[in-house]
């Protein structure tokens, strides 16, 4: 792979973190303000403020595949958006290699559930556009090489000149993955990346992600609703409590050897215990949410 470097102009370090820690979340709280303006009052759509996340502290180590799982609406996407710099925390700090980060940056690449491709651009156009935006001075020859390498990496060779509407959902998400990887982020963030796909395509793409991860061993943080997906891909699974004021309940260490094959993972002696523990966690938290609404 072509190596790309960039100057992220990091802010000064504000705290000591362990050498093996790449990303440190320190007391991240997110409170969404309520709506009390005259228009909301007129439309009877006022709301009070809502604390989505309450003092989340986490250390993510280099080259780990980490999944975040929790009951629906607990704040998984909010947390990922804060890590991506697309949302700001109400309090707390986010440190990357010990340096404070306060906005989006090319050190974090994001893959969205709805692909978020430019519909008027081709496959290579979408990837080249991301590269141009992040590395405006990159020579065209290098840009072409990076685009080609990443199209190859996600198995889309031959589809370079197609537009998103000519591609299946699975192929569009491959473009989303290639685009995120092309900017050579230190951390790949994925928000329910396979959530909009049918079961078979989802299975294929999970295996593709496992293959790509083995090649690159980049740190990945993935939000998912799927226990099986988290178990297949992750080194660690962060289980969140229900909101409001969601916290980290427990972090599961996943012991399956790599490279992973679905059949081997599913027949590992620890698989059923881990799956049961996750099911019980999700059931308990979801049941509590439902009870609170009755």
Stretch that binds ligand ATP, among 72-80, 140-148, 170-178, 272-280 (CB under 6 A): 72-80
* Contact predicate 203/141, CB 8 Å: no
Q: How many residues of this chain interact with ligand ATP, rule: CB under 6 A?
A: 12
Q: Of 8 and 286, which CB lies nearer to ligand ATP in the complex structure?
A: 286
Q: Of 12 and 103, which CB lies nearer to ligand ATP in the complex structure?
A: 103
State which of positions 1-40 bind ligand ATP (CB under 6 A): 32
Question: What secondary structure does DSSP assign to 80-118, as a single string?
Answer: HHHHHTSS--SEEEEEETTEE--S--TTEEEE-TT----
| CA distances to 41, 231, 245, 250 from 283, in Å | 37, 17, 18, 15
State which of positions 155-194 bind ligand ATP (CB under 6 A): none
d(CA 58, CA 23): 8
* Contact predicate 98/31, CB 8 Å: no
Q: Of 17 and 110, which CB lies nearer to ligand ATP in the complex structure?
A: 110
129 sits near ligand ATP (criterion: CB under 6 A): no
* Contact predicate 68/82, CB 8 Å: no
221 sits near ligand ATP (criterion: CB under 6 A): no
56 sits near ligand ATP (criterion: CB under 6 A): no
73 sits near ligand ATP (criterion: CB under 6 A): yes
78 sits near ligand ATP (criterion: CB under 6 A): yes
d(CA 110, CA 125): 18
> Would you tell me which residues interact with ligand ATP (CB under 6 A)?
32, 50, 52, 70, 72-78, 243
């Amino acid at each position: 792979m072509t190596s790309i470097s960039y100057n992220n102009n990091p802010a000064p370090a504000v705290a000591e973190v362990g050498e093996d820690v790449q990303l440190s979340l320190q007391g991240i709280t997110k409170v969404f303000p309520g709506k009390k303006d005259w228009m909301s009052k007129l439309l009877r759509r006022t709301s009070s403020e809502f604390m989505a996340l309450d003092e989340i502290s986490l250390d993510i180590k280099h080259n780990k595949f980490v999944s975040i799982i929790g009951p629906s609406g607990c704040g998984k996407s909010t947390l990922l958006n804060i890590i991506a710099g697309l949302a700001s925390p109400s309090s707390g700090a986010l440190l990357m290699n010990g340096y404070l980060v306060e906005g989006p940056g090319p050190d974090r690449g994001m893959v969205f559930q709805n692909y978020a491709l430019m519909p008027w651009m081709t496959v290579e156009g979408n990837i080249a556009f991301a590269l141009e935006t992040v590395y405006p001075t990159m020579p065209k020859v290098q840009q072409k090489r990076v685009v080609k390498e990443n199209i190859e990496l996600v198995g889309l060779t031959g589809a370079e000149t197609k537009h998103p509407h000519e591609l299946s959902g699975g192929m569009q998400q491959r473009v989303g993955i290639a685009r995120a990887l092309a900017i050579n982020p230190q951390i790949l963030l994925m928000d329910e990346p396979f959530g909009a796909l049918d079961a078979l395509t989802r299975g294929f793409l999970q295996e593709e992600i496992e293959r790509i991860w083995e090649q690159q061993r980049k740190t990945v943080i993935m939000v998912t609703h799927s226990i099986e997906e988290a178990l297949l891909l992750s080194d660690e699974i962060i289980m969140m409590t229900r909101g409001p004021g969601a916290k980290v309940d427990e972090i599961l260490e996943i012991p399956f050897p790599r490279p992973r094959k679905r059949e081997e993972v599913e027949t590992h002696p620890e698989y059923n215990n881990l799956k049961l523990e996750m099911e019980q966690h999700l059931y308990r938290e979801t049941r509590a949410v439902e009870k609170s609404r009755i």
